[in-house]
Structure 1
């Protein structure tokens, strides 16, 4: 007996990666009967995903455009002790609210929310309520896999959207304000001005541990706002921990005998040095929509392993950051990086650094002690 939920493609996880896959198939492959399965009441979670214009190819921009809640065509700033710079690359922020609204509108009854998955197989999904969904193909996009098999630092953050009682005076995003006290590794504050009186303030740390002490960080956000002269109420909160991968074994992270296809962070599809996944999520969704669903497990694993191999340079940089730089001095690495060519910076965030870019990043006066850097480089990342 065929269930109404049976489908050609079951996508498990309605976050950024799973959501973009569903939107790409809905637009490009409407004949494919897809089902997006999300455990939450709504897809998307509670996130802001920001990206530079150069992170997403112009031909691919249509896929992410409906998710963009804010765009700053005038570029962005960075601030370090004794050094500030204004960069002209436009910046964008997509939100989980926009993702949820778009998915609900585009998918209709092809979105199954509030559904807990009990078991996965290449051709079926078993829900915790006992229902079984037969599928021509299944792809698992439920966030990170077993990160314990990788060597990671961590980018962790707590963000508050503040509604100020007067204009806050920030006219463009501040990607890094590292003039703050350096705690728990490299610390910076990230600012997104949503409108004249609303600003998103994120306190971010490149840390050795994934422990996130939100109750300790929230007063620092309040102190930062007070120092800026902002009297404000908190209207939105979010927090997160992203892996900064600097080593490990892909075959342990995604074992060859795993029978289910993967996507997103679960497949290792993110920029290793930053943990950002949106550019790869867009590329992967469109790649997947352009290929047959037969042999999905093997094809997605080959695709993800090739991405892992291309990321070796970024893992090396991560190893230098966490292995060669003293935590309180890590800001110097970023300050030096932000003194380089804007095109190089843009390609770095997109994960598309050229050979010349890679040489330029590593050459010149080192921002960390040369002995520590050489000790780190002597043992190349896996």
Structure 2
């Protein structure tokens, strides 16, 4: 017989955004009856999230501190005409760690994993098995809404964690190695050393399409060109692979424009939202962790956790964030529409010659007016007419 579950707050989606909100509430509001509803058996899925220390406000670091799996004090970037080491703390969180911490922090009754959601309203969640959750407030954190409502490019990637036969000799991350062949847009390889013989290598593309061109399970095809490039990169560096510990792939939106309100309503007009579903991700990187931390801190200290109160809180925060990031969307237009795909790396190469503090603020989504001027001043790596057409200051060449 169907069961009705009663609670104070229901979080629909147990990914990064939902997990962080639950942990923040458990710390700040321990008496609150919270439920996380997640379709998969675990919290967090199969992901690795990385961030710079400067991405997180000092007052919010308590939210992510228990989740950190790895940390380094500096990182490298490499381009055909420019290489650099930047002194900046950098951290990674494994989804397994998020799952472990959430389970250790919340009571078992709070975790409703393996449960498919049919519908969510501001105060109720309907499950596929007939059960229902009645809550004072509901937050939908199930991933992206209707991305077709936004003007997008794509960051797509395939990553592999290797156990190696011998030490790899890498002591800090290589966040961008763009000395590799440029394929399908701006391509770079991302490397994280987890231990002396454990290494994560990811092949990343800033592409016009979200297609990863990977063989589908059961297709009978063994051809996986992106995975082969990851293996080739490891072999070229002399990293002899004992076995592949874990593999992940994904596609993130790079935003050039769109209708924020239409995007918000596509996920349910009056339902509170968090994470990608709220449009809370960096327009250029697609990364959602810094915004997810800010949202978790905001909700944990909110006085009104009703459905209406949460909707107003999350919508207003997401709308303000969207409006504040027009500069990044403009830069994305220049990257995707003013530069030829195999020349996009030049835009990033120039960017990484700038002041490290400017770079940190850029990734945090908090560029100052001076930062914005500095990014735009100087000889651009694309032609000025193409740049002006990309951002709409000149008519398209086809018009």
TM-score range, shorter chain: over 0.9
Residue 363 of structure 2 corresponds to: 349
Q: Offset of 1:377 from its aligned partner?
A: 2.5
**2 CA distance for matches of 1:49 and 1:5?**
32
* Greater than 3 Å deviation, 4+ residue runs: none
- Confirm or deny that 1:290 pairs with 2:301: yes
Residue 375 of structure 1 corresponds to: 389
Q: Is the 8 A contact 1:49 1:95 kept in 2?
A: yes
Which of 255, 274, 281 is the aligned partner of 1:270?
281
**2 CA distance for matches of 1:213 and 1:100?**
30
Residue 54 of structure 2 corresponds to: 54
**2 CA distance for matches of 1:142 and 1:353?**
29
**2 CA distance for matches of 1:5 and 1:93?**
35
- Give 5+ residue unaligned stretches, structure 2: 215-223, 395-399
Which of 255, 263, 271 is the aligned partner of 1:253?
263
User: TM-score, normalised on structure 2?
Assistant: 0.93
Residue 117 of structure 1 corresponds to: 117
Superposed, which structure 2 residues align to 1:133-144 within 5 Å? 133-144=133-144
Higher deviation after alignment, 364-373 or 330-339: 364-373
Q: Is the 8 A contact 1:5 1:35 kept in 2?
A: no
**1 CA distance for matches of 2:13 and 2:27?**
19
Q: Offset of 1:307 from its aligned partner?
A: 0.8
Q: Offset of 1:272 from its aligned partner?
A: 0.6
Residue 360 of structure 1 corresponds to: 374
Q: Let me know the Cα RMSD of the aligned residues.
A: 1.4
Q: Offset of 1:5 from its aligned partner?
A: 2.8
- Give 5+ residue unaligned stretches, structure 1: none
**1:179-210 superposed Cα distances (whole Å, 9 cap, x missing partner):** 00000000000000001111100000000000
Q: Offset of 1:251 from its aligned partner?
A: 1.3
Q: Is the 8 A contact 1:153 1:209 kept in 2?
A: yes
Residue 90 of structure 1 corresponds to: 89
Higher deviation after alignment, 293-302 or 308-317: 293-302
**2 CA distance for matches of 1:273 and 1:315?**
7
Q: Is the 8 A contact 2:9 2:35 kept in 1?
A: yes
Q: Offset of 1:62 from its aligned partner?
A: 1.1
Q: Is the 8 A contact 1:158 1:237 kept in 2?
A: yes
Q: Is the 8 A contact 2:40 2:113 kept in 1?
A: yes
Q: Is the 8 A contact 2:4 2:134 kept in 1?
A: no
Residue 334 of structure 1 corresponds to: 348
- Confirm or deny that 1:240 pairs with 2:239: no
Q: Offset of 1:82 from its aligned partner?
A: 2.4
Q: Offset of 1:12 from its aligned partner?
A: 0.4
